[in-house]
Amino acid sequence: MLLTQQTYAMNWQQLKDKVYYCDGSLRDIYVHNTTKADWQIWAEYVNQNYKTTFHIYDTDVRVGKVDLKIVLDYWTGKLDNCSTATVLLDDIQLNTHFFSENEIENDIAPQDINTIADHYKVIKYMVGLSNALNKRVTLTPENTPDIVHISVLKEKVEINFD
- Sketch the domain layout of the chain as residue ranges: 5-159
Q: What is the pTM of this model?
A: 0.91
Burial of 40: CB neighbours in 10 Å, binned 0-12, 13-18, 19+ = middle
In this prediction, residue 123 carries a pLDDT of 96
How far apart, in whole angstroms, are the C-alpha atoms of residue 141 and residue 148?
8
How far apart, in whole angstroms, are the C-alpha atoms of residue 21 and residue 113?
9
In this prediction, residue 62 carries a pLDDT of 73
Model pLDDT for residues 30-41, shown as the tens digit of each residue: 999 999 999 999
* Residue numbers in the chain where pLDDT is lower than 70: 1-10, 58, 60-61
Contact 148, 140 (CB under 8 A): yes
In this prediction, residue 38 carries a pLDDT of 97
Taking only Cα atoms into account, the Rg of the chain, rounded to an integer number of angstroms, comes to 16
In this structure, the number of other CB atoms found within 10 A of the CB of residue 32 comes to 13
For residue 87, give Cα distances in angstroms to 17, 108, 162: 25, 10, 29
